[in-house]
Amino acid sequence: MTKEQAKQAIQRLVEKFETIKAQGKLLKYSEEQTKKDFILPLFEALGWKVYEGDEVTAEEQISNDRVDYGFYLNGRIKFYLEAKKIAADLHREEFAKQAIKYSWNKGVTWAVLTDFESLIVFNALSSEKSLAGKRFFEIPYTQYLERFDQLWLLSKEAFSTDQLDTEAEKVGKKLAKISVSDQLYKDLNECRTVLTKAFISWNPKVDRNLIDEGVQKLIDRLIFIRVAEDRKIEPATLRPLLNQWVANKRQGSPFAAMVKKFRELDAVYNSNLFSEHPFEKWDEFEGATEKVIEILEGQHNYLEYDFSVIPADVLGAVYENYLGYKLQQSKTDLFGKDVELSKDSKKRKEQGIYYTPKFIVDYIVGNSLGPVLDRCKSIGDLKKIKVLDPACGSGSFLVAAFNFILKKYEEFGARPDPFLKIQILNNNIYGVDLDEQAVELARLNLLLNTFDGQFKLPNLGHNIKNGNSLICGTDEELTKYFGPDFRSKKPFNWQEEFPEVFNQGGFDCIIGNPPYGAELTKEEQNFFKDRYDIGSTDTAILFIKKSLTELKSGGNLGFIIPKAFTFASNYEKVRGLVWDGIEAIIDGSKVWKEVKLEQVIIIVVKDINYKIYKSGLAKDNQILITGEIDKKIAKSFGFFLNDLSQKEIKIGQKIFKSGGFLGEFIKNKRGVILNKFVEGGKFPVIGGKEIDRFKIKNIRGYINDDLSQTTAKIEKNSILVQGIVAHIENPIDHIKITANIPDSTKYFIADNINQIVPKGNITNYFIWALLNSQLLNWYCYRFIYGKSIRTMRFDNPVTDTFSKQ
């Protein structure tokens, strides 16, 4: 249906509405009749397949409440719609609140409220506290045609190009927003700060590490209870506990009453979540318990939490970021123990704590675990499947794996009851992490994903464990590297920890986002060099090799790792290790805003030889497969090509076969490291930023030292090339090599400049023109650096294969 046809269809609906109104029948219309005769046809005219469940889903539950429809495009939710019967008062606050609250807890921007007589669009993520502030626009039916372009913003076609978002940004209605993940993250950190301060104040003799552990345990329990309340598994618990305390004239403490409730819940659920812990005997009389309960209810301006609908990936993202922060003591108050929250960047750097987006988790699990499940012919086969995340973090990959396995059980006719879910947790899911808090959170997330009734919950301590996945050996071996205190490294003996797995040959599938670039001690470096012999001690490389060891033959590996895997020399050995088994490489580009390194997704099958591999890219929160690449062609270039069409590959091959290597025609040297400049110095210095393709733009600074006998001197007939390559995303993704022929040799150059001097009869203008050309930039980006953005060093080869380029 074209836009004009849609307008005509809506005109007919308006005329039908006017006729019924004139007949005085509007008040007789029920909500179901309104949806059937007007609301669904309205959105059908706007291009949505309203009668097919893949685009428009009916009756989205929210505790006892519901919204009527969810609208999806390519499997991704775009907005929720709350329908009312004709002549309902759409301006009643509870109607808007229902739609907004559901959308906000789901992390969805747009909520629509309509009875056809009028239609209101809300920005559910707006930080505005008033209903009016959240309202984007309202259109009465009498203006549907007059304001059709605005109504069209709700069409399927408009959502495919994010026109509603664009329009909202134009008028400032999408600028200030607060997502449920941002707010929950902020609130959890506030809970931790409040509780820690109170416990330190009232229990000064308790070890600080034990207090941190107790606070974490307490927050985990409160989250569990809030989920149980909102899922109607448990009656309202925390608020009545406070109310009773107030009714008793605030005698005793609500904390003590809460601990008593924990003992009751331990008897019900029998999980280590509620096992006795020392914090239960601590004192707390500062109102911290009361404040934390208030915080976990959410704000009352349409931002109340409903933990029954907050997606698992949202909770996972919050927890993963939460792990990257720690409480530090600052000596600012009278007690010298005031607690403030600060970002623990050292911990993130050491352990690689970055939450993986859901669409990437789903792709990795679907394409590594999926084929394993497809080979299962019976429920008996499913029971034997063993899935591992060796650096499980808060458990996002394991939650996804659980859901995939549960779905497969349902395909075999099994009922998804609590007993089946517990069976999957006990038999199929395994995780290890170096961080104790991460292990606790992974267990909690798995339990919450399973939790839908009052039944005994499993103790996940036997298959979600704390340890160092990369360090194992005999006591004698470990003492040799780490001394008598080797157990502080948390060595993990896989055969002993998971004997049932290795009795059947190893894991069927290993998935995850292994840490990379972790800071290692000298002892760890020596251990890894000797034990792994893989040419590098980068932890991502070590995890790949270790995981291949723990996989059974024919098992699948799915990781997201640094893109350097595809081309860098320190990954050369591990590339060779997985070359035959690589089934897919997906260019993830910059998955995390806070991480400069780009990423790739790899799918590997152990002991299987594939002649080709799938290539693709992550874009707009989805994975796009762009083609297949012959491994013989990739090997001729010396690395894994990725995200290339067959046409591009043919052009690249032609250039590769017919061209000469740059190293045959030039010599290269870099400038020197210059950090200190002198005002009014004798010699001007330039760096990479000062170079333009056609001129030297500025002077970086001046020095007094004469460096004319060093590589800082500019030689005649040379070309200066920026050491750091610019990455440009618009109008298309590409790089820009910037080369310049200096108009003077009076400058000294810094070490982020490559100075190229042609040999023989080759002119500097010829080399300059080539380096600045679109063709060479295109070739370098795709066939030398594997679409990675990096420093360009003409004297530092990407791999040995390219040492002459």
Q: What is the CATH number of the domain that holds 795?
A: 3.90.220.20
Average pLDDT over residues 716-739: 80
Q: Quickly count: other Cβ atoms within 10 Å of residue 614's Cβ.
A: 18
Average pLDDT over residues 291-311: 80
Residues 534 and 388 in one domain: yes
Average pLDDT over residues 159-169: 89
Average pLDDT over residues 719-739: 79
Average pLDDT over residues 628-642: 90
pLDDT digits over 38-81, tens only? Answer: 999 999 999 999 988 788 888 655 444 567 899 998 888 899 99
Confidence label for 249 from pLDDT (cuts 50, 70 and 90): low
Evaluate if residue 176 carries a pLDDT over 90.
no
Average pLDDT over residues 762-783: 89
Residue 320 placed within a domain:
no
Q: What is the CATH number of the domain that holds 105?
A: 3.90.1570.30
Residues 27 and 75 in one domain: yes
Evaluate if residue 659 carries a pLDDT over 80.
no
Tell me, what's the pLDDT at 53?
76
Confidence label for 327 from pLDDT (cuts 50, 70 and 90): very low
Stated length of the chain: 805
Choice among 5-19, 53-67, 592-606 with the minimum mean pLDDT: 53-67
Residue 466 placed within a domain:
yes
Residue 17 placed within a domain:
yes
Higher per-residue confidence, 57 vs 785: 57
Residues 651 and 713 in one domain: no
Q: Is the pTM of this model over 0.85?
A: no
Tell me, what's the pLDDT at 545?
95
Evaluate if residue 351 carries a pLDDT over 60.
no
Number of domains in the chain: 4
Confidence label for 799 from pLDDT (cuts 50, 70 and 90): very low
Confidence label for 424 from pLDDT (cuts 50, 70 and 90): very high
Average pLDDT over residues 349-355: 50
Evaluate if residue 270 carries a pLDDT over 80.
no
Tell me, what's the pLDDT at 331?
33
Confidence label for 667 from pLDDT (cuts 50, 70 and 90): confident
Average pLDDT over residues 24-37: 90
Choice among 127-131, 155-159, 182-186, 743-747 with the minimum mean pLDDT: 127-131
Residues 116 and 188 in one domain: no
For tokens 């915080």, the residue is 295
Tell me, what's the pLDDT at 66?
63
> What is d(CA 185, CA 394) in angstroms, rounded to the nearest whole number?
14
> What is d(CA 294, CA 335) in angstroms, rounded to the nearest whole number?
27
Residue 188 placed within a domain:
yes
Average pLDDT over residues 646-654: 90
Residues 486 and 387 in one domain: yes
Mark 540-567 as b/e (b = at least 16 C-beta within 10 Å). bbbbbbbbbebbbeebbbbbbbbbbbbb
Average pLDDT over residues 684-697: 88
Q: Quickly count: other Cβ atoms within 10 Å of residue 713's Cβ.
A: 18
Residue 175 placed within a domain:
no
Residues 571 and 487 in one domain: yes
Please say whether the beta carbons of 122 and 110 come within 8 A: yes
Tell me, what's the pLDDT at 590?
72
Tell me, what's the pLDDT at 150?
95
Residue 188 C-beta-side C-alpha neighbours within 13 Å: 27
Q: In angstroms, what CA-CA distances link 2 with 52, 150, 452?
A: 20, 16, 45
Residues 509 and 638 in one domain: yes
Tell me, what's the pLDDT at 177?
59
Residues 503 and 428 in one domain: yes
Residue 387 placed within a domain:
yes
With DSSP H G I counted as helix, E B as strand and the rest as coil, what are the percentages for the chain, rounded to 5?
Answer: 45, 20, 35
pLDDT digits over 557-597, tens only? Answer: 999 999 889 988 888 899 999 999 999 999 987 766 656 67
Contacts of 33 (CB under 8 A, 6+ apart): 85
Mean of pLDDT over the chain? 86
pLDDT digits over 119-157, tens only? Answer: 999 998 887 777 788 899 999 999 999 999 999 999 999
Evaluate if residue 496 carries a pLDDT over 80.
yes
Provide the domain limits for residue 150.
Answer: 3-170
Residue 643 placed within a domain:
yes
Higher per-residue confidence, 309 vs 459: 459
> What is d(CA 702, CA 120) in angstroms, rounded to the nearest whole number?
63
Choice among 301-315, 323-337, 529-543 with the minimum mean pLDDT: 323-337
Average pLDDT over residues 632-644: 88
Evaluate if residue 651 carries a pLDDT over 60.
yes
Tell me, what's the pLDDT at 174?
54
Residues 786 and 771 in one domain: yes
> What is d(CA 317, CA 311) in angstroms, rounded to the nearest whole number?
10
Chosen domain end from 625, 655, 685: 655
Confidence label for 438 from pLDDT (cuts 50, 70 and 90): confident
Residue 324 placed within a domain:
no
Confidence label for 88 from pLDDT (cuts 50, 70 and 90): confident
Residues 366 and 469 in one domain: yes
Cα–chain center distance at 57: 26
Residues 725 and 794 in one domain: yes
> What is d(CA 333, CA 324) in angstroms, rounded to the nearest whole number?
25
